[in-house]
């Protein structure tokens, strides 16, 4: 479950306010989102390469039989 944050008026929210555009906190949050997107992309590439390797191994074993 996602963490809950308190708003200025005391209500609970799942979204954290990261500050005004251009502030240090805002720029750090943008950088973290950018890095997270890169990590997810690399995970997808790795998964695709693993599937391709399994297909190649499968085809090689079929040809050798």
pTM comes to 0.62
pLDDT at 1: 58
pLDDT at 25: 83
Please report where in the chains the tokens 């990261």 appear, as a residue. 18
Q: What is the pLDDT of residues 4-50, one digit of tens each?
A: 788 888 888 877 777 789 999 889 889 999 999 999 999 999 999 99
Q: Are 5 and 13 in contact (CB under 8 A)?
A: yes
Both structure tokens of 14: 């799942």
Q: Considering only the C-alpha atoms of the chain, give the largest distance between any 2 of them, rounded to a whole number of Å.
A: 71
pLDDT at 16: 76
What whole-number distance in Å separates Cα of residue 46 and Cα of residue 40?
Answer: 10
* Helix or strand holding residue 12 (H, E): strand 12-13
């Amino acid at each position: 479950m996602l963490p809950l944050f308190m708003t200025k008026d005391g209500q609970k929210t799942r979204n954290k306010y990261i500050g005004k555009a251009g502030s240090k906190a805002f720029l750090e949050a943008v950088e973290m989102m950018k890095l997270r997107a890169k990590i997810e992309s690399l995970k997808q590439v790795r998964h695709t390469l693993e599937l391709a390797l399994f297909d190649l191994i499968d085809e090689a074993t079929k040809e050798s039989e």
